[in-house]
Structure 1
Amino acid sequence: MEAFISLLPPIVAVVLALATRRVNVSLFVSIWIGGWLMAGNPIAALGQTFDWFAEVMTDEWNARFLVLVALLGAGAAFMHRTGGSQALARALAKRIHSGRTSLLLTWALGMVIFFNDYVNSVIVGNATRDLTARQRQSREKLAWVMDATSAPMATLGPVSDWIGYQVSLIAGALVGLSFASAEPYRLFLLSIPWNFYALLCLASIPMILLAGDFGPMAKAQRRAEETGELVAPGDTPLSNVDADLGEVPEGRGRLWHFLLPLVVLISVACWGLWYTGGGAEGASVMDALENTDVSVALSWAAFAMVMTGMIMALFQRQTLKDCEETLLAGFRTMLPALVIMVLAWSIGTVTGALGTGEHVIDATRDWLSPALLPLLIFLIAMVISFATGSSWGAMAILTPIAVPLAFELSSGDVALVSMAIGAIFSGSIFGDHCSPISDTTVMASIFAGSDHIAHVRTQIPYALVPASISGLLYIASMVVESVWVLLVAGLMVQFGVLMALGRFGQRQYKG
């Protein structure tokens, strides 16, 4: 019962958001309910609610992240106002002649920009938004492709701030264990094949593009292809670049107006991740990523991107007033996202105060056995990350518990420990991918120009396919020892399921 009560605020947030399509109101109500559970009466709950708002906004990491998001919006605005985004779309349009190809390009870019999920959304969204629009691809589908590559790629690497964080969690969980072969990075590498959801999710994108759409996405695609309406009537995108930033004179920009800020962003981000982690003091790349300050490094990178864009605008003879207007317009495009993120972080604070993660674990602890452990860890991670909107939070809750537990149940078997680690990350990525209160889900909606709830509703059926197959693979691991056999079987089953769903969706489409 305690587990259900502690889950009540995030459940209310998700249900209300999907039912009313008003994300901010739904999040506020759910936070207030959490305050009511904590304070004992609805009036005191309001005071508790605003205390939580103040807490998350004054948190050092959160405050830096708010600045980071605003700067990324400004950097994207300069890409638009200098004509760089339009120049890239023109260059790619000469080579991209179908909607499927434009989305395959989006998928490929998402696979390449693997070192941070936020930067992935900015770059991929700005590179492909105009291109996919010309091919009449719905904003919902663009947001899904972006969302389905950003977090899964960041958690797999080969090098990213996510991996540094994950390895640090593994290292912390190993403290006190007599585990002779327990080198944290080695255990992370061994866990990658067991991260079924991330791997199957990445593979599902080209499979669905080949098989065809189904569910709510098929309806969205039909609307876009037949009417040219990239967003459904009545829907409100979190960001509309053309409306927020205005039209750009035809032929203003060149391709380098897009590429140079991008190169600066990536270069400074990589250097910042290395430097803030102690790289300058001799730390190895992986040690630097374990100890890096992500918010500082990416803020430096975003600021460098903005300054590069401003300098290019000045070289185009835009005035300082024009640059200031672009800067502020970029900040304004991020305002809806910033509000949602503050509310979503507050939900995370609510679940922490109510002990959601601990209650969920306690409710399932008695069921655990070596055979069932990976499946149960996967399911618990899904619930926690979806309810809190944070994959990192779910990882932080589960890793210190699940790794020692796997070690004890298996008497130090590396195979079960690496399987448990893969299941933690796998389930956490699912929640991060699907939760409407996840920051990466919000970022995908922003930079794709999609209505946020429309993005969530259309992508959940697509995410449930690899998630369901991942669950079956963890069950099958009780009798099949080879992870590679399981992965191949999972890919084959997923392809067959998606082909069948695609044919069903096309029959509906034609009907």
Structure 2
Amino acid sequence: MDLIISLTPPLAAVLLALATRRVNISLFLAIWIGGWFVAGNPVAAVGQTFDWFAEVMTDEWNARFLVLVSLLGAGAAFMYRTGGSHAVSRWLSRRISTGRSAQLLTWLLGLVIFFNDYVNSVIVGNATRDLTGEHRVSREKLAYLLDSTSAPMATLGPVSDWIGYQVSLIAAAFTALSLTTEKPYMAFLQSIPWNFYALLCLVAVPTIILLGDFGPMRAAEKRADDDGDLVAPGDTPLSSIENDLGEADTENGRLYHFLLPLGVLLGVACWALWYTGGGAEGKPLMDALADTDVAVSLSWAAFAMVCTALGLALLQRHTLEACEQTLLAGFRTMLPALVIMVLAWTIGTVTGALDTGEHVIEATRDWLSPGLLPVLIFAIAMVISFATGSSWGAMAILTPVAVPLAYNIGDITLVHMAIGAIFSGSIFGDHCSPISDTTVMSSIFAGSDHIAHVRTQIPYALVPAAVAGLLYIASMVVSSAWLLLAAGLVVQTIAIWLITRMPSD
């Protein structure tokens, strides 16, 4: 019964959002339901709900993240108003002649920007939004491309704040086991081939681009291609820089109006992630990334980007009044997303108050065996991350439990498998959850309706997830991760080919 109660608020949020397409109302009602469980009656639940709002908004990391997202919106606004975004689109349009090649370019850029998922969405979304629009690629498809390369690449590396975080979780689990013979970073590297979902997801993107679309995405792409409607009639993008900011200085816009602010963003972010983690004090790179302050580092980088873009606007003879209006307009474009994020964080607080993660683990603990452990961990990670909207939260809940369990009932190879399964399932649930921050960011910078993005992406995510689940089951008889992965890629390609050949409704 405790498990059902603890899962009710997050599942209610997801189901209501998908059914009503009103994310904010759905999230608020789900939080209120959680408050009812905690407070004991519906009236007191209102007070509990607003106490949770105050808690998440005054949390230091959350507050910094709200500032970060606002600054990213302002930076994107300046790149648009100075004509930088249009200059990039013009430059790329002379080299990209089809919608398929525009999508492949988006995928390749997503692979290159691997050190942070948020920065990935900002850079890739701004660089390709106009280009894909010119070739009638739906906003839902662009959001899928952003979402399916950002987190999977960040969790695989080669260097990212995600990896630093993941290695720190592994290190803590090894310390609890008094396992001094194994190096946490080497254990992470050994777990990469077992991170089936992330690897399969990255390959699924170009496979779908080349073989064709299916499910709700097929309808979205047909609509965009036939009618030129990048967003379905009646849908509302989370933000639209173009509509909110008005005319851009397309005549004077140059590539450097786009590339220089982004170069500053990347450079300062890399330096700050190293510096705030103690890199200047002599720490090795991965140790510094494990201890870095992501919110502080990226806030510095976003502020530096805004300052650079503001300077370029002034050099273009924009008045101070116009620059101030651009700055505020950039903040406004992020407001709907900021509201969703506060509500999503509050759902995370609700699941913490109801011990959702612990109840899920407890309900499955007695089923675990060495052979079944990887696939069960994968499934549990999917449930927790989907319910909470946080892949990092699912990793933090599962790693201290699953790693010692794998070591005690198996060997170090089973530990590597368990680590890969944790990260794999966490990313899948995060992808499919409408209350995930990375999913929200993808919707923002693709200019997509958020629920439309979730609805069209879920069938695409289910394919690599299903293949990953089969591979974890097959690991009971096949011990080579690379052999399993090779077989999985073949199965996934055949599955996508078959699905794309099925007639549409």
Name the TM-score class by shorter chain.
over 0.9
The residue aligned with 1:373 is 373
Structure 1 residue 180: Cα displacement: 4.5
Q: Give 5+ residue unaligned stretches, structure 1.
A: none
Deviations 1:187-218 (CA, angstroms, capped at 9, x unpaired): 00000000000000000001001110000000
Structure 1 residue 240: Cα displacement: 1.1
Runs ≥4 residues deviating over 2 A:
178-181
The residue aligned with 1:312 is 312
The residue aligned with 1:181 is 181
Residues 73, 333 of structure 1: 8 Å contact kept: yes
The residue aligned with 1:453 is 451
Task: Map residues 36-51 of structure 1 onto 2, 5 A cutoff.
Answer: 36-51=36-51
The residue aligned with 1:265 is 265
Residues 87, 250 of structure 2: 8 Å contact kept: no
The residue aligned with 2:126 is 126
Alignment-mate amino acid for residue 342 of structure 1: V
Residues 52, 346 of structure 1: 8 Å contact kept: yes
Residues 211, 503 of structure 1: 8 Å contact kept: no
Q: Following the alignment from structure 1 to structure 2, what is the Cα–Cα distance between the partners of residues 486 and 254?
A: 48
The residue aligned with 2:89 is 89
Q: 1:481 aligns with which of 474, 479, 482?
A: 479
The residue aligned with 1:431 is 429
Task: Map residues 267-416 of structure 1 onto 2, 5 A cutoff.
Answer: 267-410=267-410, 413-416=411-414
Q: Give 5+ residue unaligned stretches, structure 2.
A: none
Structure 1 residue 251: Cα displacement: 1.8
The residue aligned with 1:441 is 439
Residues 74, 306 of structure 2: 8 Å contact kept: yes
Matched position secondary structure for 1:236: coil
Residues 174, 180 of structure 2: 8 Å contact kept: no
Structure 1 residue 434: Cα displacement: 1.1
Matched position secondary structure for 2:55: helix
Q: Following the alignment from structure 2 to structure 1, what is the Cα–Cα distance between the partners of residues 176 and 386?
A: 31
Deviations 1:9-33 (CA, angstroms, capped at 9, x unpaired): 0010000000000000000000000
The residue aligned with 1:73 is 73
Deviations 1:456-508 (CA, angstroms, capped at 9, x unpaired): 0000000000000000000000000111110000000000000111111xx42
Alignment-mate amino acid for residue 318 of structure 1: H
Q: Following the alignment from structure 2 to structure 1, what is the Cα–Cα distance between the partners of residues 335 and 180?
A: 50
Q: Following the alignment from structure 1 to structure 2, what is the Cα–Cα distance between the partners of residues 75 and 183?
A: 40
The residue aligned with 1:108 is 108
Structure 1 residue 390: Cα displacement: 0.1
Deviations 1:425-445 (CA, angstroms, capped at 9, x unpaired): 000000111100000000000
TM-score with structure 1 setting the length:
0.98
Q: Following the alignment from structure 2 to structure 1, what is the Cα–Cα distance between the partners of residues 361 and 98?
A: 47
> Aligned residues: percent identity?
74
The residue aligned with 1:214 is 214
Matched position secondary structure for 1:450: coil
Q: Following the alignment from structure 2 to structure 1, what is the Cα–Cα distance between the partners of residues 181 and 30?
A: 45
Deviations 1:148-177 (CA, angstroms, capped at 9, x unpaired): 000000000000000000000000111132
Deviations 1:39-70 (CA, angstroms, capped at 9, x unpaired): 11000000000000000000000000000000
Q: Following the alignment from structure 1 to structure 2, what is the Cα–Cα distance between the partners of residues 267 and 243?
A: 30
Deviations 1:310-343 (CA, angstroms, capped at 9, x unpaired): 0000000000001100100000000000000000
Aligned length, in residue pairs: 505
